[in-house]
Amino acid sequence: MVDVTPAWSLPETSMDNLEERFKKYEKSDNYNSRLIWDEDCVKIVLSAKYPLLRAFANLLVGVICIIITVTISWPESGIAAFFGFVFFMIGLAGLRGNQTLLIHENHLEIRFDRMNSGSTEVENPDCNSTEIKREDITAIKYCAATIAHTRENHNADIHGGPTTITTYEKISATRIFLALTDEMKEYGMDDDENPWFDIKSKTKIEAEELAEALNFLIRLNSD
């Protein structure tokens, strides 16, 4: 059972900046090593690690496939070009590094750490901004979520072509809810349709404790 008011979350007048709040949290029993202090902000990796060597390997395979297309005839050249493009794009995506949430004093950012580029690839199609102001965050709490994984089964139907198979995975997540934008309000969206994105955790307890930590670090309920 997670404490409702853990000791590290009690208010202190001396903790008037993000670094001091993080130091307080880091010394607590509930500290999660996924949260680190780096470059004057708190960072947490959202996506799984992607080795740099694997990214280069995919790029190399893609380039080789594309080169092969000029030495063979159609339709084999079209197939080689397709796989070359796929491997090249996978390798290029891997070069960007981990998708990371950066928590600053007054805003949050979602970026890729190697190329320092902005990312909009979060678990919510309505969240398209790489920078989120603190005042736009309406709530941070634990949420049980379901993720759909879709793949093609090329052996399912020989005559009708490949079929699509969808499987579902239940996860524990810390969900950050955002306020409706003016455009969303114009479309008539209600407050219960707020955009959001998830930080996945291995267990419910970890997700709950991470939600408490983020509420404390971001000072969501403060002015």
Each of the 223 residues of the chain gets a pLDDT tens digit; together they read: 444 455 555 555 555 789 999 999 999 998 999 999 998 999 998 865 555 567 667 778 878 887 888 777 777 777 777 877 777 777 666 666 677 889 999 889 887 765 554 444 444 444 445 678 888 888 999 988 877 767 666 565 555 555 777 787 788 889 898 887 767 666 766 666 677 888 888 899 999 999 999 999 998 765 5
pTM for this prediction: 0.64
Euclidean distance between CA atoms 145 and 142, whole angstroms: 10
- Burial string for 45-61 (b: 16+ CB within 10 Å, else e) reads bbeeebeeeebeebbeb
175 to 17, 25, 92, 96, 123: CA distances (angstroms) = 23, 20, 29, 24, 10
What's the pLDDT at 31?
A: 94
> pLDDT value at position 2?
46
